[in-house]
Amino acid sequence: MERRSCTVEAADITVTFSGVDVLKSVSLELKPGEIHAITGENGAGKSSLAKVIAGVYRPRLGRILLDGEEISFKNPREALRHGIALIHQEPLTLPDLDIAENIFAGHHLVKAGLVDWRSLYARADALLAELGVTLDPHAKVGTLSVAQQQMVELASALSQDAMVWIFDETTAPLTPKEVEELFKVMRALKERGCAIAMVTHHLEELFLISDRITVLRDGEKVAEKATAETNISEIVQLMVGRELSSEKLHAESGSAAAPFLAVHNLSGPGFHDVSLDVRPGEVVCLSGLVGSGRTEFARALFGITRATAGSIQLGGAEVMITSPRAAKQMGIALVPEDRQHDGLLMPQAIAFNATLARLSKLCRSGWLNRKKLEQASMGYAERLRLAYRGQDQPVMELSGGNQQKVVISKWLMTEPKLLILDEPTRGVDVGAKHEVHKLIREQAEQGLAVLMISSDLPEVLALSDRILVMHAGTVVAEIEGKSATQEQVMFAATGQGAA
Amino acid sequence: MKLGLREWLALTFVVLVCLFAGLKDPRFFGPKSIDSILLWLPLITVVAMGEMLVIVTREIDISVGSMLGFTGIAVGLMFKANPHLSVPVAILAGLGVGLLLGFVNGALVTWGKISSLIVTIGTLAGFRGLSFLVSKGDEIDSSMVPDSLTSLSTKGIHVGHVTISVLLIIALVVAVITALFLRFARLGRDIYAMGNNPQAAYLRGISPNKITMFVFCVAGALGGLAGVMYAARFGFVNPGSAGQGFELTVIAAVAIGGVKLMGGSGSVFGVLMGCLLLSCINVALSVLGIDANWQLLAYGLVILAAILLDAMATKWHTRKAAA
Amino acid sequence: MKWRALVPAVLLVIATFIGSRLSPKFLDFHFLLDRSTLVMETGLIALGMTFVMICGEIDLSVASNMVLTGCVTAKLLEKGWGIPAGVAFACLMGTGLGFLNGLLTAKLKLPSFLVTLGTMAAYRGAAQAMMGPDSVKLPKGFVNLDESYVLGIPWPVMIFLVIAVITAIVLHQTVFGRWAFSTGTNESASRYSGIPTDRVKILVFALTGLMCGIGSCMLTSRLGVARYDLANGAELDAITVVAVGGTSIFGGSGTMLGTILSLFLIDIMRSAMGVANMKAEYQLTAIGSLLILSVLAMNLGGKIRLSKRSSAGAT
């Protein structure tokens, strides 16, 4: 069956997660033969918009129209049945099966009720050729690179005659050459009359390929421009034009103390040649785009992965950090990016979580002193202004902001000298965000060295004394916190060179 | 057909055991020992096919031995009531009874949302008790099992001095059907997809509940078939001992045959090799005059070796992927 | 999550009531105590298994461990080892075999289900290879522990109760117990919090091994002989006891009290069925059904609590 070109219109889409609107009445039109880029800062809602169109999320308000007809998808499968395909950053593959099966799983070609392998492979060959890639359809997908796996996913969508394609940060894990290959395919799809949406924050890429650009900010659509009529600096202005609602929280004066953490040319999985230092009393921010190597660097600092080259000095002495336990004993604390997976024991109580990292110190004899634990936990709950019902309340019942406070109190309780925070306010509502900021500054004032990873530019500008910008695995710029502007940081983060 | 690394390994193991045993004592290649290998093979093969499907789907079925026992008893009682029951009807009845038991497992796993390990530990005891209940504790003895049934293990194709019994032919037919099903039926391919990555399979329109239910039903039906074959092979069915501990042998055969125990991959040929390997070890031990008491230890070590190989292969694979 | 222990508690009361209607013996404490000596090894193993399952793992090799340890110890005693040395050896050996399970599981990142399936066959296989069909008699001073009493309680029951109290305290009142819950709830987050999760896992397997070692002494003392085919299927009994006691097979929740109650529940159920002249084999069906029904009930209970919670949270 050959599908005809079609237009998708998202009208006044509002998406709400746990009470927070991540998209506010956004409209978007994808036309046949046009590549429409959706861009914005991390957390601006661009991915959510893509996922609503592809049937992953259901909007609270608003409608999706396919050629003028209202449709609603229960799941991405139904969207694909209507010809709308979502291409993920990390393809969802069947690693032990071969390419042809990954293309056709769930809709195998059959003849007389039996899987018709011959035409399956022939068709797979044809689809791959159509995409211009040379891959053996018999190869197991688990052995392919991410770029190749994406091509398999593209072929799978192509095999179902998708006419609307949504690329969600698809270029992020690819090398420049692989991106070029992907763009070729996207142009070919455009020629076929497909409507294409492309979610990205890589501005150069967007100018290379798109016809139209929609900029989102804080869940709202701030502009839609024809690519030919705009330029990078205008888009950057639109992206970062967020209001700096939070008051400035910089240090009164620069810290004169000797650095607690000094890293020299550290390399490891996902980052290379990173050098930086953090002084007690100072908030240093690692800024940059998702995938620029910030989280990977933090994980190596905390002993979850091992650095392969370079040195780490803590308090002037060179150290090897081999496990989170070792890192903890050296006075390092990490508030991880993925709160649910790495930060909290969701079904367990607040006191259980908050005292977990400090357990053997609080209970030196090995006996649980519940009263002592609860008191310790309550003390921090008060200091951090945690809103809770009781210390035995499971943390999964708390809001995102309060959950984060539990993680932070867990680490403050260990009395660390260096506090690393990875996206500390992700999924935290605006009011709680500011509280977390104040908290971080308070800790620095008490002599803690703070290294914060954040993609939230206003947060970075409000809080940090120094901003280090990472791009493609290494630090590319250092900017004074007080005088930095959003444009400066964003330019460096997109690899435009320090401004 | 292309063989994967794990199938080659299983095959190599079989050849090594045979060579070793044969060189030590040429009687290993004599008709008598080949006959006993071939007699040993059918039961385990049939049950292993069902267990393989379950394991590929990332589940486990511990209750296969009890399903075998119960069906053996049930079919034996049918013969007792009607000694002229025809063999094909008995086989169909066995499949049907087994299917029912498998359905119970499947229902508890899919709808009851209980882990398959717990469910089948429960039904392992449950079905075993049921066989006592229906048999009132009495054995189905040789007087109740008609010759038409027991002859399945003696009649067959004679190749020289070696007999390929009807039981073995049934087992091979089951294996071939399973292989064809896994290769050519959409549902068969969906089982692999589901075992590979349940989330990805779901997004591709494959229903997890349907697959889970299906594999437990098949494991039950084949366990039932094996119950009838057990009666044919031994001429009696004891409600306590028929199939007892069989789950271990079967899971061992599946593991050695290169079925990934975390699900998602495995082939009928590999499982056949696994079954053959266990049979060969068994017979080799007796031909070499090694105490049969070493058999279980050999099984255990072979399972551990298979798991370790699996772990090493995975590690090697990830390292290669990282490089 | 303590409410899960309610299921076996309520069932225990019901079972005792039904038992007492069948025979007044069920109100006789001594009758119950004497009967329960038969299940004390299973009980000990279940105590260890509670730790293992709370860590999110499983140990299928417990019965085999107990038998292999029992056989080797019996051989040593036959060779003239003293009884204290023999008992000490049994404890050490059981711990060692459990330790091996833990090592393979934690360090090689293999699923414990598979590792212990392998060692389940290997341990019992080793016992069989060593013993053959023979049985080894145990020396006079070693046997019939179950017929001697301390404070009016049979020794095995006393030992079990003491160890049960100790393990309950370790699980619920110590840092180590917390670590076990934490590891089973979320291994990654536990590691990020600096908990030595691998070591915790190895330790719980070793602890279970220790229980097998002590259990092997009780078992062979009661039976007077050691054979390779003793305690067949005891691993399933132990898992049943733990699961009925409210410990989740997915880790992170459970209580020692639940396990203890569930042990006596199953024991009384068995006794009652015995008094009612139900054959041991029929009882299997009842126990199997009990396992499935109680896990179903707890799943359902969890769902109801969750839905209550979310409706309360929405307001």
CB B61 within 8 A of CB B230: no
pLDDT given at position A498: 43
B264, B258, B274: which is closest to B313 by C-alpha? B258
A297, A290, A291, A287: which is closest to A467 by C-alpha? A287
The fraction of chain A above a pLDDT of 70, given in percent, is 95
The 3-state DSSP class for residue A216 equals strand
Report the alpha-carbon distance of residue A48 to residue B110 in Å, rounded: 32
Q: Kindly give the pairing relationship between strand A34-39 and strand A195-199.
A: parallel
Q: What is the mean pLDDT of residues A381-394?
A: 84
Report the alpha-carbon distance of residue B263 to residue C164 in Å, rounded: 38
Global pTM reads: 0.86
Look at A345 and C173 and tell me if their CB atoms are within 8 Å. Answer: no
pLDDT given at position A283: 92
Look at C285 and B123 and tell me if their CB atoms are within 8 Å. Answer: no
Place of tokens 């129209």: A65
pLDDT given at position A245: 54
Look at C286 and B129 and tell me if their CB atoms are within 8 Å. Answer: yes
Alpha helices in chain C (DSSP H): 6-22, 29-36, 40-54, 62-78, 83-107, 112-131, 155-173, 175-185, 187-192, 197-223, 234-244, 256-275, 280-314
Q: Report the residue from B115, B293, B301 with minimal CB separation from C128.
A: B293
Q: Report the residue from A76, A77, A106 with minimal CB separation from B193.
A: A106
**Which token pair is A32?**
């046949």
pLDDT given at position A491: 82
B 117-176 near C (Cβ less than 8 A): 117-119, 121-130, 132-133, 137
Distance from CA of A367 to the nearest CA of B (A): 33
Residues of A in contact with B200 (CB under 8 A): 92-94, 105
| Cα nearest neighbour of B200 on chain A | A92
C280, C244, C275: which is closest to C261 by C-alpha? C244
Q: How far apart are the first and last CA of chain A?
A: 53
Report the alpha-carbon distance of residue C112 to residue C120 in Å, rounded: 11
Distance from CA of C4 to the nearest CA of B (A): 16
Q: What is the DSSP string of C39-66?
A: GHHHHHHHHHHHHHHHTT---S-HHHHH
Place of tokens 């366990």: B223
Report the alpha-carbon distance of residue B217 to residue B223 in Å, rounded: 10
Q: Long-range contact list for A58-62, CB < 8 A, 24+ apart?
A: A59/A13, A59/A14, A59/A15, A59/A23, A60/A14, A60/A15, A60/A16, A61/A12, A61/A13, A61/A14, A61/A25, A62/A10, A62/A11, A62/A12, A62/A13, A62/A14, A62/A25, A62/A26, A62/A27
Q: Report the residue from B117, B297, B307 with minimal CB separation from C249.
A: B117
Name A8's bridge partners.
A30, A66
Q: What is the mean pLDDT of residues A21-28?
A: 87
On the question of pLDDT at C157 being above 60, the answer is yes
**Which token pair is A280?**
């007690």
Q: What is the DSSP string of C97-134?
A: HHHHHHHHHHHTT--HHHHHHHHHHHHHHHHHHHHTT-
Distance from CA of A228 to the nearest CA of C (A): 48
Q: Which of A8-12, A233-237, B174-178 has the lowest mean pLDDT?
A: A233-237
Name the most confidently modeled range: A246-255, B143-152, C16-25, C94-103. C94-103
Place of tokens 């959510």: A48
pLDDT digits (tens, 9 = 90+) for A261-307: 999 999 988 899 999 999 998 999 998 877 788 889 999 999 998 88
On the question of pLDDT at C93 being above 60, the answer is yes
Distance from CA of A170 to the nearest CA of C (A): 27
A190, A191, A218: which is closest to A37 by C-alpha? A190
Query: Band of the pLDDT at A2, cuts 50, 70, 90?
Result: low
For chain A, the chains sharing at least 3 beta-carbon pairs closer than 8 angstroms are B, C
Distance from CA of C189 to the nearest CA of A (A): 4
pLDDT digits (tens, 9 = 90+) for C174-218: 999 999 999 999 999 999 999 999 999 999 999 999 999 999 999
B98, B119, B70, B130: which is closest to C285 by C-alpha? B130
Q: Kindly give the pairing relationship between strand A418-422 and strand A449-453.
A: parallel
More confident of the two residues A101 and C17: A101
Number of C-beta neighbours around residue B23 at 10 A = 9
On the question of pLDDT at A1 being above 50, the answer is no
Q: What is the mean pLDDT of residues C292-308?
A: 74
Q: Report the residue from B118, B119, B304 with minimal CB separation from C122.
A: B304
pLDDT given at position A482: 82
pLDDT given at position B312: 80
Look at A115 and B183 and tell me if their CB atoms are within 8 Å. Answer: yes
pLDDT given at position C313: 36
| Cα nearest neighbour of B138 on chain C | C281
C228, C225, C229, C219: which is closest to C159 by C-alpha? C219
Report the alpha-carbon distance of residue C57 to residue C117 in Å, rounded: 12
Look at B203 and A77 and tell me if their CB atoms are within 8 Å. Answer: yes
**Which token pair is B253?**
């055969």
Q: Report the residue from B132, B291, B308 with minimal CB separation from C282.
A: B132
pLDDT given at position C314: 33
On the question of pLDDT at A99 being above 90, the answer is yes
Q: What is the dihedral of CA A368, A370, A371, A374, to 10 degrees?
A: 120
Distance from CA of B196 to the nearest CA of A (A): 5
Residues of B in contact with A77 (CB under 8 A): 203-205
Residues of A in contact with B265 (CB under 8 A): 96
C 124-153 near A (Cβ less than 8 A): none
SS3 per-residue string spanning A61-98: EEEEEECCEEECCCCHHHHHHCCEEEECCCCCCCCCCE
Mean pLDDT of chain C: 87
pLDDT given at position A92: 84
C 158-187 near A (Cβ less than 8 A): 172-179, 181-182, 185-186
Distance from CA of A355 to the nearest CA of C (A): 10
Q: Show the CA angle centred on residue A279, arms to residues A278 and A281, nearest 5°.
A: 120
**Which token pair is C302?**
């969890």
Residues of B in contact with C304 (CB under 8 A): none
Residues of C in contact with A397 (CB under 8 A): 309, 313
Query: Band of the pLDDT at A439, cuts 50, 70, 90?
Result: confident
Q: Report the residue from A325, A334, A368 with minimal CB separation from C174.
A: A368
More confident of the two residues A488 and C203: C203
Name A466's bridge partners.
A284, A480
Size of interface A-C (CB pairs under 8 A): 74
C308 phi/psi in degrees, rounded to 5: -60, -45
Q: Which of A92-101, A366-375, B137-146, C104-113 has the lowest mean pLDDT?
A: B137-146
On the question of pLDDT at A244 being above 60, the answer is no
Cα atoms found within 13 Å of the Cα of residue C120, Cβ hemisphere only: 24
Distance from CA of A285 to the nearest CA of C (A): 21
Residues of chain B with pLDDT under 50: 1, 323
C213, C178, C166: which is closest to C54 by C-alpha? C178
How far from chain centre, in Å, is Cα B33?
Answer: 21
- Looking at the complex, does the CB of residue B298 fall below 8 Å from at least one CB of chain C? yes
Look at C113 and B112 and tell me if their CB atoms are within 8 Å. Answer: no
**Which token pair is C79?**
């060779």
Amino acid at C146: D
**Which token pair is A17?**
């997660």
* DSSP tally for chain A: helices H, then strands E: 17, 22
Burial A332-355 (b: 16+ CB within 10 A, else e): bbbbbbebbebbbbbebbbbbbbb
Q: What is the mean pLDDT of residues A107-112?
A: 84
